[in-house]
Amino acid sequence: MALSIQEVAHVAQLARMRLSDEELELMQSQLSNILEYIELLQEVDVTGVEATAQVTGLSSVLRPDLVTGALSREEVLANAPDQAAGMFRVRAVFDE
């Protein structure tokens, strides 16, 4: 299955990636190849087989409502590229 440039651009947008025209073309062919490979699965006859998202056979894995604790703020922010006032700082989301 071949993806159109628009579809590749849309996927890039969803992943918040900015791709140049060359990259879009490169991704178009690479993603299409991957999809084609996956399409092999279409050959399997799955008539009567229910869609499966879980293979463990488990159900209702629940835990009691007990508090086990939180991280310290230093630990929470340890990996933050940028921070201020005890919070993660990012580029404004509603940028003009």
Partner 1 sequence: MSAYLVTIGLEIHAHILTASKMFDGCPANYAGAEPNTFVSVVSLGLPGTLPVVNQAAVERAALTGLALNCRINERSVFSRKSYIYPDLVKGYQISQYDEPLCSEGWIEIRTAAGATKRIGIERLHIEEDTGRLSHAEAGTSLIDYNRAGMPLMEIVSCPELETPEEARLYFEKMRQILVWIGVNSGNLEEGALRCDANVSVRPVGQQHYGAKVEIKNINSYRYVERALAFEIKRQIALLQAGGVVHQETRGWDELRGETVGQRSKEFAHDYRYFPEPDIPPIVLDATWMAARQAELPELPDARRMRFMEAYGLNLQDADLLTLERSVADYYEAGVAAAQAIGASPKEVANWVLNEGFRLLKDRGEAYEQLATRVPVAHLAEIINLVAQGSVTRSVAKQVFEESFDSGQTPAAIVKAKGLTQISDSDAMRSVVQHVLADPKAAKAIAEYRGGKTSAVQFLVGMVMKATKGQANPHITRTLLEEELAAS
Give residues in contact with partner 1 (CB under 8 A).
10, 13-16, 53-54, 56, 58-73, 76-77, 84-95
Name the residue among 70, 90, 92 with its Cα closest to residue 80: 90
Q: How many CB atoms lie within 10 A of CB 9?
A: 17
In terms of CB distance, is 22 or 95 closer to partner 1?
95
In terms of CB distance, is 22 or 55 closer to partner 1?
55
Q: Residue 85: what residue type? A: A
Q: Minimum CB separation from partner 1 for residue 32, in Å?
A: 19
In terms of CB distance, is 22 or 81 closer to partner 1?
81
Q: Minimum CB separation from partner 1 for residue 66, in Å?
A: 6
Q: Minimum CB separation from partner 1 for residue 89, in Å?
A: 5
In terms of CB distance, is 13 or 29 closer to partner 1?
13
- Within its chain, how far is the Cα of 27 from the centroid? 17
84: part of which helix (H) or strand (E)?
strand 83-84
Question: Alpha-carbon distance 95 to 84, whole Å?
Answer: 19
* The total number of residues written for the chain in this structure: 96
